[in-house]
Each structure stands twice: as structure tokens, then as C-alpha cells.
Amino acid sequence: MKIGFIGLGIMGKPMAKNLLKAGYSLVVSDLNKAAVDEVVAAGAQVANSTADLTGQCQVILTMLPNSPQVRQVALGVGGLIESIKPGTVFIDMSSINPIASREISEALAAKGVEMLDAPVSGGEPKAIDGTLAFMVGGKPEVFEQHKDLLGKMGASVVYCGTIGAGNVTKLCNQIIVAVNIAAVSEALMLGQKAGVSPNLIYQAIRGGLAGSTVLDAKAPMMMDRNFKPGFKIDLHIKDLNNVLDTAKSLDSPTFMSSMVMEMMKSLHASGDGQSDHSAVAKFYEKVAGCEICR
């Protein structure tokens, strides 16, 4: 079975490489020629066109920035819908608006194509080591048929419900991550201002109820002022935009998400949009006039 893979960015490239390591035959496409060349060097084939990719592949995966890009690739002029074969399965691993997932699925269903929305959590480090968490929406039988495929890129592959449920779950994930990062920043800044070592605070609380994957991943980055992106501020702004849009359509309150969104927008405006989302600490540092350090 050949698999098409569209989108070889910070996440897609290592995910594609993990599929190759697992023995899958891949046909890849991306606007970034260097990324394509790197994955081809690892064993993939390059698609000469969308029709070339759809003609060869029984499953097509996408890992793209946001709803407009997925919609264009799937339904736009020259998109998958123009040449995709009935019976193909389309799995979108991008984090997009769940309404867009449902619209794309409906359009592809008219062509005899099943779709799963399967966004991921874990950032670049987990994409590299193949331990991402997948949240999947779609028909249960289609999920079961492709669970093992997704499992070659992730340590957790969980069925969440009908199409769009994967992206609803991802939005919930992004709320918790964003608010957690802000809480870690706020707590470490309090310790810094009070003259207590943020590192000792971190070591003392990480094994208790305040401990979390976010705390372990982001507190050391904040203290080391290492804001090399595993997941960029700008990407989290994109996800929170989708949170707020979805919540507005459902009349669901988003007090904390809205506050963290404003922090991240401020960081984007000051030039930190491409920094890791742990750079929310810099927002607190600017307000407090003090840097978090070990």
C-alpha cells in the first residue's frame, strides 16, 4: 500500500520519516523543496503533481498549518477532489476548525472518499521520536482500519467520535496547554520576585498535584531562556483563534483562553511569534521587570 503525505513542515517531516522507518511506501509533496529532498533521501518518492499522488496512493495524509490550507489542498483548484479515486481514505492530521473538517469530509464523501480528522499533540520532540498523541474523528470502522498506521507516528491513538471530534478534542487540549503555560510562568515569576529559586520550586512541586507534562517540558525552557520552537507562539495563536471561533458558535465561555490569547498576541507584536509557546514567560517578565532564571 502506498501512502501520500502532503505537508513536510516542523511536524510533518519527522512524522513522514517515522512512517518510512516503519516500512511504509510514501509519496510526498510540499512547497519546500529542501524538505521534500530530505524525506526523499530517507526513502520516499516525490509526487510530480496532485494527480500523480492520488493515482498511486490508497491513503492520503495531510499535515498543514490551518483550515484554509487543508481546504485548498483537498477542495481547491488542482486539489485532491479533482483526481482522488473512490475508496481512497483521506486523513487530515492538521489542527483546524472542526467545522472545516466536517465540510471537507462531506465534499469528499460525494466522491466516495472516507475521511478522518486526526490532529496531534506533543510538538516537534514527540513528532521526532514517534510518541505523538492522536485524537481522531470519523467512522469507527475507518478508524480501526487505520489505527495501526497512525500508531507508527504516535504513542496514543484515541477515537473521539464522528468527523470533527478529533479537532474539537485538540482545541480542548490547546486550551489546557495554553493556560498551563501561563500558570507556570505566573508561578515561577512569583517565586523569582519573592527570592525563592524557580528551579527549587519546580523540583519541589513537580511530583505533586501541580506536576504536569507541561510543567516538565516548559519550566526548564523558561529558566534556561531557551525559546527555540517546539511549538510556536504563532501556531498556538492559530489554535486559540479556532478555539474562540468554535466556542462563540456554541455559546461556550472561554475566559482563560481569551486572556492567554491576548498575552500571545502581545508577544507576536513584539517579535516573538516564532518563539516556542513557553515564551509566554517573557510576557510576565516584561510586566514584572524581572527575568525568570535558575
Task: Judge whether 33 counts as a catalytic residue.
Answer: no
Q: How far apart are CA 61 and CA 30, in angstroms?
A: 12
Catalytic residue among 13, 170, 218, 238: 170
Q: How far apart are CA 72 and CA 6, in angstroms?
A: 12
Q: How far apart are CA 269 and CA 28, in angstroms?
A: 35
* φ, ψ dihedrals at 121, nearest 5°: -130, 145
- C-alpha distances in Å from residue 212, one per residue of 56, 119, 183, 208: 43, 21, 12, 9
Provide CB contacts within 8 A for 21, sequence distance 6+. none
| Residues labelled as active-site residues | 170
